[in-house]
């Protein structure tokens, strides 16, 4: 079973942003709770659970852990304090790279990171060529012309890329191509 991520934070908007980062960069799904009391509704903790907790819930969360058997878990503290005076791992104004670095480090330290880079080898050379052109904003017809393929073949490659990566949007594929150094941000239109 995959790593289970539980996010406890008082802002649903912030949770959506973090959920996007977890899904896009780590392939992880997240459960969002606005209060510690909601945690008691969670019936099952996976073989590994990563808790990302708003710092203000620290004491309540520690009580929750004492009262519940949650084996193989880690916690990352999240704070909305812009001044970063409050001790936390991630702050509301932390860069996406910093957030990714903290989560990546926590998962690696607990041997829970399913390396997402493996998908690089999953894509064929032709699929990578198609992905690069998708990221550059080419239409199916433009890709077909550039690679001397039929439009039908390009569509088949796109379907395979989406199935292998689990990323359905063009913007998501573009971010993936940039993060995996298939294209540079300057090449994206």
3-class SS of residue 37:
helix
Residue 125 in this model has a pLDDT that exceeds 50: yes
Structure tokens belonging to residue 94? 């932390």
CA 83/CA 102 separation, integer angstroms: 19
Dihedral Cα 50, 55, 59, 61, nearest 10 deg: -20
pLDDT of residue 1: 44
* CA gap 15, 157 in Å, rounded: 33
pLDDT tens digits for 142-168?
999 999 999 999 999 999 999 888 888
Return the structure tokens found at 103. Answer: 């989560």
Q: What is the pLDDT of residue 113?
A: 56
Q: How confident is the model over 38-79, as pLDDT tens digits?
A: 877 776 666 667 888 888 888 888 888 877 777 678 888 888
Q: Residue 91: which H helix or E strand, with range?
A: strand 90-91
Domains and CATH numbers, the chain: 4-114 (3.40.50.2300), 117-187 (1.10.10.10)
């Amino acid at each position: 079973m995959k790593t289970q991520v539980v996010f406890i934070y008082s802002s649903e908007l912030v949770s959506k942003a973090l959920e996007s980062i977890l899904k896009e960069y780590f392939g992880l799904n997240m459960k969002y709770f606005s209060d510690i009391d909601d945690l008691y509704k969670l019936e099952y903790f996976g073989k590994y659970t990563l808790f990302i907790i708003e710092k203000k819930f620290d004491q309540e969360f520690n009580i929750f852990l004492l009262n519940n058997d949650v084996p193989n878990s880690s916690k990352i503290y999240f704070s909305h304090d812009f001044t970063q005076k409050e001790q936390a791992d991630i702050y509301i104004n932390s860069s996406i790279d910093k957030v990714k670095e903290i989560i990546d480090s926590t998962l690696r330290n607990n041997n829970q990171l399913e390396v997402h880079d493996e998908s690089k080898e999953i894509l064929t050379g032709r699929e990578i060529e198609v992905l690069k052109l998708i990221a550059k904003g080419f239409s199916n017809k433009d890709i077909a012309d550039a690679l001397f393929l039929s439009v039908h073949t390009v569509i088949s490659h796109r379907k395979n890329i989406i199935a292998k990566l689990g990323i359905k949007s063009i913007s998501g594929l573009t971010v993936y191509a940039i993060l995996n150094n298939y294209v540079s941000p300057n090449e994206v239109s």
